[in-house]
Amino acid sequence: MSDDLRLDPITRRGNLAGLTQSAAMIALTTGIFALDVLSPLQGAVAVLYTSVVFISIRAESRKMTVAVGLTCGLLAIAAYWISHEAEALSSAAVRLAVSLVAIAITTLIAILHQVAAERQRNADARYKALFYASAVPTWEGDWSTAYVLLQEGHGTTEEFIDLAASHAVIGDANQAAAALFGLRCRDDLIGRTLTPFHTPASKAALGRILQALGAGETEVEDEARFVTALGDHVDLVLRLAVSPQCREWRQVLVMAIDVTERNQAQARLAQAQAQLTHVSRITTLGQLTASIAHEVNQPLSALITYAKSGKRWLAREAPDAREVADCLDRVVANGARAADVIARIRTLTRRADPIKEDINLLPLVEETVELLRRELNSHDVTVDLSISPVLPKFLGDRIQIQQVIMNLMLNAQQAMAQTPSEQRLLQVNADCSSGGITVHVRDNGIGIGNESEGLFNPFVTTKNDGMGMGLAICRSIVENHGGSLSATNHPDGGAVFSFYLPSAEQVETAA
């Protein structure tokens, strides 16, 4: 196979065009020389050599243009010498001089044109290299439709923005732009529009950009949010430039900077600042609570003392008044429990270790239900307990575990606020699993929505008046007891909160 056949089609076409151009120049030069020698016009024909010089411009070679100009000048002199060898200087010589000057000027103009064209090609090549190699997503679009619509007096309405976006065809783009929108290569972006990637925020930004361009600005910057082909949202700072040479917005250059991570970091910072402020308020409340606990503890002690004294007096004066005695016993028991709660609060403020003991689950749950009986009845909530009395005991702080059970039951009651009253059933059951006890608290409420991912995070709440600390504290308590707390939706509706606690035997074995 010959070398010519191994060349690619573009190279072969280029070589063929070059040969055709050279043949045309030789033929034209030969014709002009013959006409100059044989014509009676006496040197005026030589000016036609300038056409040969102009043709040489297409070769994009200054050396060739200079060679063509010199050749044409020498041929003009040779033709004059052949035709007027025996004649003295005459008007023909003047016409020859004019032709030589024309050839020289044309050659100079051709060289200057080639220099300017070469500079333009180099500038275009540098621009393309920077365009394609840049890590900044960049693309060019034809916005001429938007320009025409604005000139016709259309305002930046939603219909106008949709129409402008659907006609803003991308003429070129780099690989970074394709990757930004989740596409495999830049060819997937060229010839298309950004309509599939628009969001309401990006359409609003496009309206502001078009309004600014319509006011005469050639460079506009704005921030918008797009959705990628993968379904991810990206926040972009768009920088648009319209070249003064490209009229009617036929070539709009767009550069984009991805600020998604920056915006997310700012959102996290704002959330952290809000949490820090909330923690400060909670800390202040904790200090106030410790003070209140100290003050309340005194009248509680007096209440218990008076109740005990009253029972002793009753035993002497009216020993048969058993109902009164039972009432006083309940006063003493609940007063002691209230004092115990206050003592636990003061312990928490002092960061002391919890008091752990062997606990039987069933009496603890029954006691918690009795404490919440009035609250549950007022909201028409029926409680169904299914806990075996032979479950193994677990080691823990009684008050803290009761706080967990109470919080989960109150959350279940609140979750059924929209449930018909005859269907409000709160189920509490427990079973043995993995050497411990798992307690399940189920409601018939609305279930767990999209917020389940951060359900146990501090200050995350779905309640209008909630602090978002209840579940976070419950998880902390359970984990400090060596267990775990989880939540899921029940197949028949509602949510199930389950916490696992290791049995006392398992804790002792591990120790």
Residues 472 and 485: their CA atoms lie apart, in Å, by 10
Mean pLDDT of all residues belonging to the chain: 80
For residue 493, what pLDDT is reported? 86
- CATH of range 265-349; options 3.40.50.720, 1.10.3080.10, 1.10.287.130, 1.10.260.40: 1.10.287.130
**With 0-12 CB in 10 A as exposed, 13-18 as middle and 19+ as buried, what is 192?**
middle
Q: How far apart are CA 361 and CA 368, in angstroms?
A: 11
Cβ atoms 342, 385 nearer than 8 A: no
Q: pLDDT tens digit string along 8-64? A: 554 555 555 556 777 777 887 888 777 777 766 555 677 788 888 888 887 777 888
pLDDT digits (tens, 9 = 90+) for 321-352: 777 777 878 888 877 777 776 766 665 555 55
Predicted pLDDT at 86: 54
Q: What are phi and psi of 215, to 5 degrees?
A: -80, 0
More confident residue, 238 or 117: 238
Crossing angle for the helix pair 144-151 and 158-167, to the nearest 10 degrees: 150
89, 224, 288, 365, 484 from 478: Cα distances, Å: 119, 44, 26, 16, 6
The C-alpha atoms of residue 99 and residue 43 are separated, in whole angstroms, by 8
pLDDT in tens, 269-308: 877 776 666 666 666 666 666 677 767 777 877 788 877 8
Mean pLDDT value of segment 370-375:
83
pTM value? Answer: 0.48
Please give the CATH architecture assigned to the domain spanning 357-510.
Answer: 2-Layer Sandwich (3.30)
- DSSP at 393: P
pLDDT for the residue numbered 44: 63
Map out the domains of the chain as residue ranges.
3-133, 138-258, 265-349, 357-510
Whether the per-residue pLDDT at 393 is higher than 50: the answer is yes
Is 188 a residue whose pLDDT tops 50?
yes
Q: 3-state SS of 470-487?
A: HHHHHHHHHHHCCCEEEE
Burial classification of residue 48, based on how many CB atoms lie within 10 Å of its CB (0-12 exposed, 13-18 middle, 19 or more buried): buried
Q: Which helix (H) or strand (E) holds 234?
A: strand 233-242
Pairing of strands 394-396, 436-442: unpaired
The alpha carbon dihedral of 257, 260, 263, 269 has a sign of: negative
Q: Which of the four CATH numbers 3.30.450.20, 3.40.50.1820, 3.10.20.30, 1.10.10.10 does domain 138-258 have?
A: 3.30.450.20
Q: Do domains 138-258 and 265-349 have the same CATH topology?
A: no
> What percent of the residues of the chain are helix, what percent strand, and what percent coil, each to the nearest 5?
60, 15, 25
Q: What is the pLDDT of residue 13?
A: 55
| Assigned token pair, 105 | 């000027």
Give the span between the Cα atoms of 485 and 477, in whole angstroms.
Answer: 9
